[in-house]
Structure 1
Amino acid sequence: MLASRARQPATKAITLAAAAKRTNPTRLQCRYYSSNNQQRPSSSLVWPTLGAIGVGSAAFVGYTYLTNEPQPAKRTPAELTFEKSRTADKYSKEYNRAELSAQHVQVKKSLESPGIYAWGSNCYRVVDPDSDETIVKTPRKISYFDGKVLRDLKLDERTGAAISEEGDLIQWGKGFSETEFKPTKTLAGKDLVSLCMSRNRIIALSSNGNVYSLPISKDEQESGPKPRESSWVPYLGSRARISYRLLQPRLSLGEKVTTISGGEEHVLLLTSSGRVFSAASATDSYPSRGQLGIPGLTWATRPEGPVDACHEITALRGTKIVQISSGDHHSLLLDKDGRVFVFGDNGFGQLGIEFDPAFPYTDAPTLLPLEKLYPGKIWNLKATGIAAGGANSFFTVDATRILGPGEDKSLVGNLGHITADTWAFGKGITGALGNGRWTHLQDAPTKVKALSGLSEYDEKKKSLVPIRLQQLSVGATHASAVLNNSTHLDSSKRSSLSDTNFGSDVLWWGGNEFWQLGTGKRNNIPTPTNINAPPDTVGKKAQTERRLQIIPRHKGKLGNRTVSMEQRVECGKHVSAIYSAV
């Protein structure tokens, strides 16, 4: 502090001395130049003058030190430059935070506020139970699920059903109740993990492999037969609160059901051993288009016992199935070797095999010949995913470049290169195939170019890697795909434009008669396209940059808990939704 206080007076003293020299410039200058005239200045005059200046300066320094307030030390050029850079950086960060992209803000808000966004037909109060609007044109939050994460969600035009984080079934919509529109807990205490819906029933799978079938209607749940439930206390069993049935396939010791998928009238059950069972899942009609996968099985030929008895698809015995998917009246299966099997209705070519008016369906699993899609015998093919909905089917393929017959290895530069492609077939009159065309019947797989051959640079691998599909959801007339592109969720709270969050890209296409694509317009779209994020999730750049993105799996705060969660897409009949899932 003393050095700081002394620095200024010393500087002033030097300045004063210079000023004193300027007080009589003529006299001093004359004496100096007179030396050139062989006469030196007289020492009797110089020393008294300098002595007087020194005494005056010392007196002034002492007075200034005692009376002046402490002043900041004079900064060097280097110190001034550093201070300017700090100030500029501070204002730059404040500006950048104010101007963060809508994409970044959307991801941030989605991380902090889980829930369900839905849009499309609201005639039955499914998309927005709190509103009597018949159409919701763009994504809107369902208030009941604010701050909640779910295990599963299925939506239809008439009814909505979700499984809560605790494993309870929640239902809403006029298909459930004509008078009570608020989501209501129905089947509780079963630790449910997933569900599917038929025309009038819900099929739900529990964590221990039990499969429950219950009416969608609240009135039928209350009036129908209620099974007796056991208790951990002997002789204290009681009747269930609502009506339901258990679907019971014949399983081996240690085997259990792990996945379910259903259509309008049927449901498929996949077990831990890779076996597949099928069953009727509607009470108003029996599956009659081969969708059960059992040759010759009809209402007239069904075996004795419950109508919804489970039947093993024995044609696939010895084949380990790893994925199942159902459309309204057809099904797809994927085995561990990357082969795709199809069966059921083929009225629009949704089985990917040639349509024959004399035999409009196939009741036995049929293998799709993938090699016909890649001629030349230079590709190793493996299907990696399947999806079905309505009268449409999709599958994804990893095509790896191999050495073909007669090829010289030294002349083939892309050996081992993987191309990830998406193929579609079925009813494309609304553009639901995503291939850019309006096709009434597409009975041969057609490539979805917008979802094929995509790649990005991987910083870790230092090479291009294929972008595959993370999720593919197919509704009655429209569909959506979530890309498995690189994401970033690690930006700090003091983010700048060069440090932003971004999620997975999501694309939509197909029928838009009830605004279910979320574009805010009603026209159908035959090619996958981006849509805007909900207005409440974007920042200042909302008018110019609002592309909707999906949050990949991450660990986030839910109240005082840390929860592993992600966003998923659900396409139903004339409705769409995005929800936070555990």
Structure 2
Amino acid sequence: MFKQTALLAVSAASTYTILVRSQGPVLAESPVASRPSGSVEIQRLTAQRLNERPGVLAWGSNKNQTLSRSKDLPIVRLPSRLDYFNGRLLRDLVLADDMAIAVLDNGDVVQWAGSQDSDVDSPQLVLKGKNINKVQVSRGKSVYALANSGSIYSWPVSAATSTSASSSISSDLEKADTASSSSSSSNNSSNGTRHWCSYFSIFWGGNSSHKSGTTVTTLNTPSLSFGEYVKDIAVGNDHILALSSSGRVFSGSTGQIAPSESKGQYGIASMSQFDKAPEPGTLHEIKLLKKFPIAKIAVGDYHSLVLTKEGKLLGFGDNLYGQLGISYSYRTANIAVPTELPISGILFGGDIHRKVTNIAAGGSITYFTVNAGVESEDVYSMGNGLSGQLGTGSFAHSQRSPLKIKHFSGLSAFSEKLNKTVPINISSWSVGTSHTAVTLNSSPSSQDVLVWGSNESSQLGNGKRNIAGYPRPVPLYETDASGNSTLSPVGLQLLTGQTMTFTDHNGKTRKAKVDQVITCGDSATAVYYRRSK
């Protein structure tokens, strides 16, 4: 059964009627949270409020004041704007339990929370002038930042908590943002420069009260060829994967000291669960993958996935919860080398034309998509389902064979521009420790958002704390002329490729083509604005 939903936003050139599979009643309204002292404004989410100005809207755990300065607000139950980011575009955003980090539009990196020296209203500038595109956090250990050049920079999570320089940095941060706002995106093509291990400290000048800097490490990738560069990274609790422009994969330890044990997540036989984990600071090529040019990488806490350009899915690392799809035994509790996941017979029935098209992972969960026709896809999950993250209604502690998430099978929309029904597929994934969000290519101008999994900290955005075992929309509200809000029949939809004219954080009028991006953290979720690529 399908039901037709109302349309939120469409372009003038094309109109889509969205058809979605019904998964039960829409969640009931929740009470509006009052605004605590020192916090950001918390309101029900409306399309007008979401789209009025670029910025960050976030909800979920606030136990370390990542979303609000108020220590009396452990959970932000409904989407709230983070005032500091109003009028700002970002390249990336990560919300960990103990800190948060963002990449500004000019490629500089700011970090906040976890200390009295930097909070959500005054983030600390920790990396400047390196043209960063992506950041990842190894829980409680280190931050990893991928530069446009392919360099990978790292510094301790405690970097922003070990200085007393928040106030001295604020003026530099404003100058950096002003320069960013007055120019177009500086995200140019990579120069493929080869980088070697080096250590240095950055001291932001201009203010004598700044007493210390941030020690930043450039990871060593000694086996990169001339012209080859790192184009993507993925970080787990103890390990990092790096994908090169040539389709090679490298791995290494995270943090400042080697982990106490390996679970095989490095994909190298000499770094198995029976061996010592590698020392941090250097990436090592996974040579067993040389014969498989890799298209995508993904990691969970202690397991790794790679997708070949031919559509084969390989994995290695922790298999305690079946996240690698292999039956559990003493020998298969950890898989130390890349192993093709045994999914062909289960999913394909001998059909050699079907292949894996995408992968995602986080915590102890694995997702992958399989082409189910000319344009449509099926979605599968396996691993730890206690939080509902399997998305199938199952809460199995250990799911070792792939389960189809039926909600995504057979979704379609009628395109008035094309005058035919077209499939709706997943366009992006964000997998947190225990909850997941996806966007669907519902129309050329907007994308539907679905979330599921743990909701202990209200990270699903519905104001409640009950687990969602199936994909559900993030509630969106409509406000009438009297200011009363009612639940909209359409859930949250994110803009994509839309040109906006807005007032930036300096009060200047700007114009940019932007996308809205949803990101899942450890126990929180956020939507931010990014310049369209």
TM-score range, shorter chain: 0.7 to 0.9
What is the aligned residue count? 435
Q: Is the 8 A contact 2:97 2:522 kept in 1?
A: yes
Q: Within 5 A, what are the aligned runs for 1:427-506?
A: 427-488=384-445, 503-506=446-449
> Are 1:313 and 2:286 counterparts?
yes
Query: Which structure dedicates a bigger proportion of its chain to helix?
Result: 1
> 1:204 is matched with which residue: 129, 132, 145?
145
Partner Cα separation in structure 1 for residue 372 and residue 470 of structure 2? 22
Partner Cα separation in structure 2 for residue 140 and residue 228 of structure 1? 37
> 1:160 is matched with which residue: 100, 124, 140?
100
Partner Cα separation in structure 2 for residue 244 and residue 300 of structure 1? 31
Aligned to 1:146: 86
Partner Cα separation in structure 1 for residue 310 and residue 480 of structure 2? 42
> 1:184 is matched with which residue: 121, 124, 129?
124
Aligned to 2:218: 246
Q: Within 5 A, what are the aligned runs for 1:506-545?
A: 506-533=449-476, 542-545=485-488
Greater mean deviation of Cα atoms: 458-467 or 293-302 = 293-302
Q: Is the 8 A contact 1:205 1:260 kept in 2?
A: yes
> 2:523 is matched with which residue: 566, 574, 578?
574
Query: Which structure dedicates a bigger proportion of its chain to strand?
Result: 2
Partner Cα separation in structure 1 for residue 308 and residue 482 of structure 2? 45
Q: Is the 8 A contact 1:205 1:211 kept in 2?
A: yes
User: Partner letter of residue 118 of structure 2?
Assistant: E
Write the deviation string for residues 473-519 of structure 1: whole angstroms up to 9, x where unpaired.
1111111111111144xxxxxxxxxxxxxx31111111111111111
Aligned to 1:25: none
Task: Note the C-alpha offset of 1:124.
Answer: 0.1
- Aligned partner of residue 138 in structure 1, secondary structure: strand
Write the deviation string for residues 200-242 of structure 1: whole angstroms up to 9, x where unpaired.
100001111111010111367669xx93489xxxxxxxxx942
Q: Is the 8 A contact 2:440 2:449 kept in 1?
A: yes
Write the deviation string for residues 449-491 of structure 1: whole angstroms up to 9, x where unpaired.
1122212223344332221111111111111111111144xxx
User: Partner letter of residue 421 of structure 1?
Assistant: D
Q: Is the 8 A contact 1:455 1:464 kept in 2?
A: yes
> 1:351 is matched with which residue: 312, 317, 324?
324
Unpaired runs of at least 5, structure 2: 1-44, 165-197, 203-211, 504-508
User: Partner letter of residue 498 of structure 2?
Assistant: H
Task: Note the C-alpha offset of 1:108.
Answer: 5.0
Unpaired runs of at least 5, structure 1: 1-104, 231-239, 401-416, 489-502
User: Partner letter of residue 203 of structure 1?
Assistant: Y
- Aligned partner of residue 157 in structure 1, secondary structure: coil
Q: Within 5 A, what are the aligned runs for 1:259-338?
A: 259-283=232-256, 285-286=258-259, 288-297=262-271, 307-338=280-311
1:159–1:375 Cα change, 3 Å: same
Aligned to 2:54: 114
Q: Is the 8 A contact 1:202 1:214 kept in 2?
A: yes
> Are 1:423 and 2:374 counterparts?
no
Aligned to 1:413: none
Partner Cα separation in structure 1 for residue 481 and residue 383 of structure 2? 37
Q: Is the 8 A contact 1:264 1:282 kept in 2?
A: no
Partner Cα separation in structure 2 for residue 137 and residue 158 of structure 1? 18
Aligned to 1:397: 370
Partner Cα separation in structure 1 for residue 435 and residue 389 of structure 2? 5
Task: Note the C-alpha offset of 1:377.
Answer: 4.1
> Are 1:553 and 2:497 counterparts?
yes
Q: Provide TM-score, normalisation by structure 1.
A: 0.70
Write the deviation string for residues 169-193 of structure 1: whole angstroms up to 9, x where unpaired.
111111xx24432322111111111
Larger radius of gyration: 1
User: Partner letter of residue 216 of structure 2?
Assistant: Y
Write the deviation string for residues 37-63 of structure 1: whole angstroms up to 9, x where unpaired.
xxxxxxxxxxxxxxxxxxxxxxxxxxx
Q: Is the 8 A contact 1:379 1:399 kept in 2?
A: no
Greater mean deviation of Cα atoms: 530-539 or 110-119 = 530-539
Partner Cα separation in structure 1 for residue 479 and residue 226 of structure 2? 51
1:243–1:524 Cα change, 3 Å: same
